[in-house]
Structure 1
Amino acid sequence: MLLRELAQLVLEYPIYGDIELDDLIQFIHLAKLIRPAIEITQKDKRSPPPRLPQHIHEFLCAALGKSTSEILWYWVGFRAAVWTCREVAARRVDVSAVHEHGLCRGLGTSRDTDDVMTLTEPVSYRATLFTLRDGALPVFTTSLYCHACLRRYHHNYYVEASDSRRTYYDGPPPSIIQVSTHFFVEAEVLELFGNGMVFGWLSARNCARLYNSSLAHPAAHVQNNPLAYGATAHQLPYERDWPYSLELQDEEAMNGFFLYSLLLDAAEHQTHLELPHHLSQKDRLADALHLRNKAMEGVGQEEWPHACDLCFMLMKDESGNLMKVQYAVGDGLSIGRPCCAVHDCKVNLASKRDIYCPEHAYLAQQCAIIGCELPRVPPTQTCTLEAHQAVERAYRSDANRAIHKLRARLRNNGVSVPGEPTAAEEMDDEVLVSCAQRPDDTTVVLCASATCDEKPSGTDITGIKGRFGRRRTHNEQAIMRPCGVYLSRATLFGSEALSGVKEHFKAVFPTAQSRPEIFIYDNNCRLREHLLANGDDYFAETGLPVDVFHFKSKHRATDTQCQLHCNPAAFPDLVNGDKWRVNTSICEESNTWLGGYLAIVRDMEAVRYTFFLDEMIKRRNRWTVKQLERKGHNPWRIPMSCLFPEFAK
């Protein structure tokens, strides 16, 4: 509304001359904030209704402290301004007014941006919105039905009446993401979580704790430090009465981040996301996460065609012709997730608590002792053989708990513990597992030393091995550029076998044009022998040196073949005078960052584990490229037609 229009209105209706400017601004702000609730009652949303719905009229009266007739005059005079003015940011005072006077009348601070005029049959329900600047807010969300296209439109997606799938809207993700039925999270919050995971190794639980402690309440610094500010913590009325938690849970934090990442990925590829509708949010995301994981394998990372002056060089050959020299570095990292107990089985577990995958589930009915095929005797995991049962008793014995071991140390030093059983009583019928057993290793090996205090008596079980728990994948294999950009990551299951490293390398560099001239790996001498033994000439044009650190400290100087073919000093493309051209240990150094996720991913389900690590690498690559640009290295991407000749056809 222009000032001259306001002046003309006052001339025609002098009653408007008595309105305070602050009251008018607050009226427009509040009416604009609850406009979606007004639009729901209309058939045509292009113009404001002549009269406000009764519950909205009552809300404005209570929030502004005005009479019914005053609000009526306000609406008649300024409804056009409410409908046509630009989008206004919700002020804290407006949000508080909605909470105090609107929640009891079915009004919330959510907004519906759908402009379709044929939508009817509104269905509203309560929910919680987690915002970056205004904290956790109680809101109402509304879905609408279209009789023309037979779809119900929700905030982020629509559902076909004849289908059980939800289709998310095209384009960039909305500013508010519905992460479950009753919980919404601002995209800004999810972006904060993503950066916290990349740069701070935050788990979903710690992201939720960070939000609840620092962002859920607008005055968190006062609430967290009542003595310093001389204030006492207080609860707002809606915090006691709202049926849905105003504290963010780790499940919503992780599901929200995964959904946000999928929506970003769909927008980046100019497509849209489709998910099942009638499932839990965790199960709903599973298939979409799996498809993205498959797309990431090999050449899927967006920075895979990356090149810069730290990893791509032009040199002259002996004839003076220009030739390109591109480098790649590989290394393994010992982090993993639960997997099938059968060695090198790559089939995912049906549940992360299972020991065997569906294909090997029948083995769960056999004795857990390795090599024994007799059926187990429920509820134990071993057969009827006493020696095998003794191994299981050792595995499950309470004597393996720290408190029993520490009490045993006291007794060994002549100190009695009042009220505790004697050594003879405590050791009766117990078999202790060797202290050499790794905490994460589910294979039990009984102590074989005759002098060891933990050797059981009465039963000869020396050397018997049993598997009673889950196996974990062996390591993550990463391939990088010397500048710090990750090209790919793959999970190796049973071991860091040379065949697995070779197949990963082939997947990352599938064409002759994409293969690097130099591939640096800490076990290249054995890899080279493996290739020769198998007659594999895939890497015939690629130099295979060992990185400087491992070659200097881990490889024998007497190994002639290793010295002759894998000594990095023997590669002119790696040497510039008395200095190295590239950082051959970049993978070893960068994997300290990737290893920070050990505690976060160790119990993740397979699909989520893979998606999470790939997403962390994708985000870190973007940051790395920005740092290279700031330092003047001018990163760019090699055209796909150069790496895949079939693209040029």
Structure 2
Amino acid sequence: MNDLEQILKLAETHPALFDHLSLSKIYRFISKARQHRADILLTQPGTHPPDVPPDVLPPSFQLYLGHLSEIPNEYIGACWMALKETVWSGGDIHGQDDDESICYGREMGITNHTLYPPIHYCDNKDCPRRPDLRLTKAEQRQVVFFTLNDGTCPAYSVHLYCPDCNTNYHNNYYVLKGQRTYYSHHLEAIQVAEHQFVERRVLELFMTLMVNAWTSATNCARFYDVSLSKRQVQERFFRDWPFKLELTTEQVWDGIVIVSLLEDAAQRQATLTVPHIGLQKDRFTAAVQARNARMRLYGQSELSHYCNRCTHIYRNEHRKVFVAVTDGITIGHPCCAEHNCHTPLTSNRHRFCPDHAILDNECSIITCENHVLPGHLACGDPTHQAIERRHVERGQARFQLKEWLLRARVAHPNDCIAEERSLQDLDDTEVAEEEFILSNDGTVIPNDQPVVLHDGETLCASKDDKSSRKLRARFGRRRTANEQILVAPCGMILVRETMYGAEATSSVIEMLKRTYHKAPELKPNHIFYDNNCHLARMVRNDPFFADIGLSVDVFHFNCKHKVTDEYCQCHCNPISFPELLTPDGQWAFNSSIAEQTNVWLGGFHSIVREMVVDKYNFFLDEIILQKNAMVKEKLVREGRDPGNWPVVGVLEPRGSTTKEI
């Protein structure tokens, strides 16, 4: 029987009811009843099937639905009998929550959002419980739900307990033997803290803001609070709610991490399992490290990408020409001050990792191995003590503060609201090594060599006294040198690698060989690099590069490479490679794409500069994944025929479109 027939039957059996009914009242009755189906089901016996509506509404919901739909209570039972199939079979109807709904529900202990587990029966295959017996032992707790349409909502979260196997089923996951195992299906509400949930659409909005507008987690939380929270409305009715109706930076980060890990698990057809006990900040560390390790092992999912902007296929000749471009960008994270050490710091405020912590006791003057004096960074040598004093004085000097200010003045601040900071809060540890001039009379003078800032500007250098000697000191912590990326001319980012020491040519060679050693058939046929004149010399006898063309991109070749360098002109001139040209003599590929991509990547400098290494790698990998997805959508819209080459058993399966020549 359809909905209209049910209503007509209701009119026949209760003619007086239609004096109190209207389409708007019927709609409100159905929508509110659908919103609380799980609450209604919870009151039924454990043997009641979840897909069958109960014959009788619980008394509390008779009052609740009658009041909100303005239908007299004596007719609520008849309305339920007529409309229960409609209520139970349709999807949720999401509308704006009005003041009356919020106020009356609050009086009855009912909120417009109640978060239940997505299952009704125990899912533990080893559980002795009867398979047809629903879970009915429930515990309800007060939470805050940050939604897109309704703003910040006080809500209830209900978890169901199986007494036969001690499994607790929550909205996002179930808990058994101290482990959280997340459900494999799509979760709409993400639990970001013990009593806080964020709607997935809100987290997806935050990620879009991060990728496209370089918005930090702090500014995402502030954006939500100002534009979407509707907190003033909620505070009128929930002043006594035990939790703050404000989204925090940590909750934004945790939400993005959880969604990213869930999507990663879904792509691998795996489940996400994390510890249930312990601190929230440590809960996902192992899962993040495992994802980072897979990224280093398998690379980005688009490593096997092709499209007609980056790959030219010559079907008659059964060959293809795939081009890639590599370049570096000076962003990074704090790292051990020992050169090229990859061991993470215990804290970002430390100078050395645990493996090199003993070096904290050595004099900061390079080449001096004497122990430091207590409370100092230099040994007892009077000259070394003078250098340390000069370092401290220099740090407090006006010109040095100006240098720090220039360094901190970035395009996209981490927090849009400025906070008052003391002099001690300014960070002078960015310069890991400093050079000092020791004049003939024993005076120590800082040798202010040009300091390269993140925006490419430099500070002036002082004059050098040829008669004096120089000493180098390492008072501050070190940062990684740069991020090296490999990009297809279409804009697809194929590889990202952190360079610890410097963007050395040997490091770039190592990155390329490590990336493609498991899948040599994916190697680019040609690589643009602004330092290929040195790279080509180093690999001219390396069989790995025997079938790879190496040229300098057009801009750098014309502007920054000497015409007198015979090797560069003969072996790295892009005009020498006919596959890089179209039939009419135009350049076939965008060789400047890496620098253009690095402009985008550099916008995250202020966001990532103080991240610990695990979070740093996870975040950069995730924004690259998101950007690549956007690039692929754009290529599809433009008719560029994007896809992925089939590589069996080497790359992680991602469900991408594959193609053979």
Give TM-score, length-normalised by structure 1.
0.82
- Of 200-209 and 99-108, deviating more is 99-108
Equivalent residue in structure 1 for 2:141, among 108, 125, 128:
125
Secondary structure of the corresponding residue to residue 510 of structure 2: helix
Structure 2 distance, partners of 1:175, 1:51, is 29
What letter matches 2:27 in structure 1? Answer: I
- Residue pair 2:211, 2:623 contacting (<8 A) in 1 also: yes
Equivalent residue in structure 2 for 1:573, among 576, 579, 596:
579
Distance 1:446 1:187, change over 3 A: same
Structure 1 distance, partners of 2:440, 2:241, is 66
Kindly state the Cα deviation for residue 323 of structure 1 after the two structures are TM-superposed.
Answer: 3.0
Structure 1 distance, partners of 2:442, 2:395, is 15
> Where does residue 557 of structure 1 map in the other structure?
563
Secondary structure of the corresponding residue to residue 521 of structure 2: coil
Kindly state the Cα deviation for residue 59 of structure 1 after the two structures are TM-superposed.
Answer: 4.3
Distance 1:310 1:83, change over 3 A: closer
Distance 1:24 1:380, change over 3 A: same
Kindly state the Cα deviation for residue 450 of structure 1 after the two structures are TM-superposed.
Answer: 8.7
Structure 1 distance, partners of 2:65, 2:312, is 68
Kindly state the Cα deviation for residue 288 of structure 1 after the two structures are TM-superposed.
Answer: 1.3
> Where does residue 147 of structure 1 map in the other structure?
163
Kindly state the Cα deviation for residue 24 of structure 1 after the two structures are TM-superposed.
Answer: 4.0
Secondary structure of the corresponding residue to residue 473 of structure 2: strand
Kindly state the Cα deviation for residue 544 of structure 1 after the two structures are TM-superposed.
Answer: 1.2
- Residue pair 1:518, 1:543 contacting (<8 A) in 2 also: yes
1:313 aligns with 2:326: no
1:332 aligns with 2:332: no
Q: Please list every run of 5 or more consecutive structure 2 residues that lacks an aligned counterpart in the other structure.
A: 122-132, 403-426, 447-467, 652-657
Secondary structure of the corresponding residue to residue 580 of structure 1: coil
Structure 1 distance, partners of 2:64, 2:399, is 62
Structure 2 distance, partners of 1:585, 1:303, is 20
Equivalent residue in structure 1 for 2:119, among 96, 114, 122:
114
Structure 1 distance, partners of 2:643, 2:384, is 61
Distance 1:389 1:641, change over 3 A: same
Kindly state the Cα deviation for residue 61 of structure 1 after the two structures are TM-superposed.
Answer: 6.1
- Of 340-349 and 8-17, deviating more is 8-17
Distance 1:48 1:310, change over 3 A: closer
- Residue pair 1:98, 1:107 contacting (<8 A) in 2 also: no
Kindly state the Cα deviation for residue 53 of structure 1 after the two structures are TM-superposed.
Answer: 4.6
Equivalent positions of 1:468-487 (< 5 A) are 468-487=475-494
Distance 1:345 1:627, change over 3 A: same
> Where does residue 629 of structure 1 map in the other structure?
636
Q: Deviations over 1:604-624 (max 9, x none)?
A: 111111111111111111222
> Where does residue 223 of structure 1 map in the other structure?
none
> Where does residue 29 of structure 1 map in the other structure?
31
> Where does residue 192 of structure 1 map in the other structure?
205
Q: Deviations over 1:207-251 (max 9, x none)?
A: 112211211129xxxxxxxxxxxxxx7773245322222221111
Equivalent positions of 1:390-429 (< 5 A) are 390-397=386-393, 400=396, 402=398
- Residue pair 1:366, 1:373 contacting (<8 A) in 2 also: yes
Give TM-score, length-normalised by structure 2.
0.81
Kindly state the Cα deviation for residue 188 of structure 1 after the two structures are TM-superposed.
Answer: 0.9
Structure 2 distance, partners of 1:28, 1:237, is 27
- Residue pair 1:331, 1:478 contacting (<8 A) in 2 also: yes
Equivalent residue in structure 1 for 2:531, among 523, 527, 538:
523
What letter matches 2:246 in structure 1? Answer: E
Kindly state the Cα deviation for residue 564 of structure 1 after the two structures are TM-superposed.
Answer: 1.6
Secondary structure of the corresponding residue to residue 267 of structure 1: helix
Equivalent positions of 1:108-507 (< 5 A) are 108=111, 109-112=113-116, 113-116=118-121, 117-160=133-176, 163-171=177-185, 173-217=186-230, 236-238=235-237, 240-297=239-296, 299-315=298-314, 321-397=317-393, 400=396, 402=398, 440-446=430-436, 455=445, 463-507=470-514
Structure 2 distance, partners of 1:303, 1:81, is 47
Kindly state the Cα deviation for residue 315 of structure 1 after the two structures are TM-superposed.
Answer: 4.7
What letter matches 2:268 in structure 1? Answer: H
What letter matches 2:13 in structure 1? Answer: E
What letter matches 2:198 in structure 1? Answer: V
Structure 2 distance, partners of 1:559, 1:398, is 42
Distance 1:396 1:71, change over 3 A: farther
What letter matches 1:346 in structure 2? Answer: H
What letter matches 1:154 in structure 2? Answer: H
Distance 1:497 1:86, change over 3 A: same
What letter matches 2:350 in structure 1? Answer: D
Structure 1 distance, partners of 2:17, 2:271, is 50
Distance 1:104 1:383, change over 3 A: farther
Structure 1 distance, partners of 2:438, 2:510, is 39
Distance 1:75 1:48, change over 3 A: farther
- Of 78-87 and 238-247, deviating more is 78-87
> Where does residue 41 of structure 1 map in the other structure?
43
Structure 1 distance, partners of 2:193, 2:157, is 12
Structure 1 distance, partners of 2:144, 2:233, is 19
Kindly state the Cα deviation for residue 103 of structure 1 after the two structures are TM-superposed.
Answer: 3.2
Structure 1 distance, partners of 2:184, 2:553, is 46
Equivalent residue in structure 2 for 1:99, among 98, 102, 123:
102
Structure 2 distance, partners of 1:374, 1:166, is 51
Q: Deviations over 1:165-213 (max 9, x none)?
A: 1111113x31111122111111111111111111111111111122112
What letter matches 1:602 in structure 2? Answer: R
- Of 466-475 and 20-29, deviating more is 20-29
Equivalent residue in structure 2 for 1:513, among 495, 513, 521:
521
- Residue pair 2:527, 2:550 contacting (<8 A) in 1 also: yes
> Where does residue 639 of structure 1 map in the other structure?
646
> Where does residue 603 of structure 1 map in the other structure?
610
- Residue pair 1:298, 1:488 contacting (<8 A) in 2 also: no
> Where does residue 588 of structure 1 map in the other structure?
595
Kindly state the Cα deviation for residue 310 of structure 1 after the two structures are TM-superposed.
Answer: 2.1
- Say what the alpha-carbon RMSD is for the aligned residues: 3.3
- Residue pair 2:330, 2:481 contacting (<8 A) in 1 also: yes
1:544 aligns with 2:550: yes
Structure 2 distance, partners of 1:80, 1:39, is 12
Kindly state the Cα deviation for residue 60 of structure 1 after the two structures are TM-superposed.
Answer: 4.6
- Of 634-643 and 144-153, deviating more is 634-643
Structure 1 distance, partners of 2:400, 2:572, is 52
- Residue pair 2:429, 2:475 contacting (<8 A) in 1 also: no
- Residue pair 1:27, 1:64 contacting (<8 A) in 2 also: yes
Secondary structure of the corresponding residue to residue 594 of structure 2: helix
What letter matches 1:16 in structure 2? Answer: L
Distance 1:640 1:4, change over 3 A: same
What letter matches 1:88 in structure 2? Answer: D
How many percent of aligned residue pairs carry the same amino acid? 37
What letter matches 1:2 in structure 2? Answer: D
Structure 2 distance, partners of 1:36, 1:326, is 54
Q: Deviations over 1:88-127 (max 9, x none)?
A: 3232245x44431223543221242433253233121111
